[in-house]
Amino acid sequence: MIDAKTKLYGLIGKPVEHSLSPAIHNALFKKYNINAVYLAFEVDDLESAVKGIRGLKISGLNVTMPYKEQILEFLDGLSEEANAIGSVNTVVNREGKLIGYNTDGIGTLKALKRFTEVEGKRVLLLGAGGAGKAITYTLSRLAKVVVLNRTEKKAKELEKFGVKGEKLSKESLEYYLSWADIVINATSLGMNEDKTPIPKELLKEKLVVFDIVYSPLETKLLRETRKFGCLTIDGLWMLIYQGAESFRLWTGVKPDVEFMRKVALEALKSERRSI
């Protein structure tokens, strides 16, 4: 029941109307009897939005595109990983101080560990954007990582984390697919479209293939690599695990990820029916 003691959490970004986060977090608040609500806010003016967060004493936020990097200048502090990556997807209001975190990397790592070993493995990461940076930072401490990106400069910038960065081309893709144990698509290619970052003729057997895109749940990349006998992991697992870490930072409660996935799948089905 919403009352004067109800805490407010939310998501800021643009667009946010199809986000699964409100369904997931509100279900968690109900499950754990936490007097709180979670709303999605489509933001045009980030500076004004952050002032409103302070003024309304909003307890915590998720941050999505295009504000993951822009929000840094408006915060009071950053966690170690958020500072290193230069990107924030979670904000915690600690007695008026807004502290930024990034849970994308740990979300990816936990999703991977659910299905396979990571330590000492060879990881090929496609994409050096916000999610790619977070994933690189986290995995570079456990595995050998190569980052391929259409803009070579962005891939090279991630070499500060002790990885190798190169331009994404058919030649580099073919070479590193033969080298890799795990392939992660951290690009948006395949999101709501039947496209894949890996041409069919370059596919290899017995890879672990993780696509962080979750709409559609089975992307063309996952569909084609599964036919080659690869172990495939859908992007909803990353969303669930990074959201679980956000929830823990806000509330101190380690949530049930199986429950979260069930809620998310139901919300996806409902969304498809409404479109």
Tens digit of each residue's pLDDT (9 = 90 or more) over 3-36: 999 999 999 999 999 899 999 999 999 999 999 9
Task: Tell me the average pLDDT across 104-120.
Answer: 96
Q: What is the pLDDT of residue 271?
A: 67
Task: Tell me the average pLDDT across 120-131.
Answer: 94
Closest CA to 43 of 12, 88, 74: 12
Task: Tell me the average pLDDT across 71-81.
Answer: 97
| pLDDT value at 227 more than 70 | yes
pLDDT classification of 259: cutoffs 50, 70, 90: very high
Contact present, 142 and 112 (Cβ < 8 Å): no
CA 61, 234, 237, 150 torsion: positive or negative? negative
Q: What is the pLDDT of residue 205?
A: 87
Task: Tell me the average pLDDT across 239-261.
Answer: 98
- Answer yes or no: CATH 3.40.50.10860 is held by domain 7-102+237-274: yes
64 appears as a binding residue in the annotation: yes
CA distance linking residue 149 with residue 155, whole number of Å:
6
For the chain, what is the total number of helices (H) and then of strands (E)? Answer: 10, 12
C-alpha distance across the termini of the chain, in Å? 30
44 appears as a binding residue in the annotation: no
Q: In the chain, which residues fall in CATH 3.40.50.10860? A: 7-102+237-274
Q: What is the pLDDT of residue 241?
A: 98
Task: Tell me the average pLDDT across 220-229.
Answer: 93
20 appears as a binding residue in the annotation: yes
101 appears as a binding residue in the annotation: no
Closest CA to 220 of 201, 185, 193, 184: 193
Q: What is the pLDDT of residue 195?
A: 86
- Active-site residue, 110 included: no
Strand pairing category for 208-211 and 231-233: parallel
Tens of pLDDT, residues 134-173: 999 999 999 999 999 999 999 999 999 999 999 999 999 9
**High-pLDDT (> 70) share of the chain, %:** 98
**Average pLDDT of the residues of the chain:** 94
235 appears as a binding residue in the annotation: yes
151 appears as a binding residue in the annotation: yes
Q: In the chain, which residues fall in CATH 3.40.50.720? A: 105-234
79 appears as a binding residue in the annotation: no
| pLDDT value at 231 more than 80 | yes
Strand pairing category for 60-63 and 7-13: parallel
Q: Which of 5, 14, 31, 68 is catalytic?
A: 68
152 appears as a binding residue in the annotation: yes
CA distance linking residue 145 with residue 122, whole number of Å:
6
Query: Cis omega before residue 199 (within 30°)?
Result: no
| pLDDT value at 273 more than 80 | no
Q: What is the pLDDT of residue 204?
A: 86
Given the candidates 3.40.50.720, 3.30.70.2740, 3.20.20.150, 3.40.50.300, the CATH classification of the domain at 105-234 is 3.40.50.720
pLDDT classification of 274: cutoffs 50, 70, 90: very low
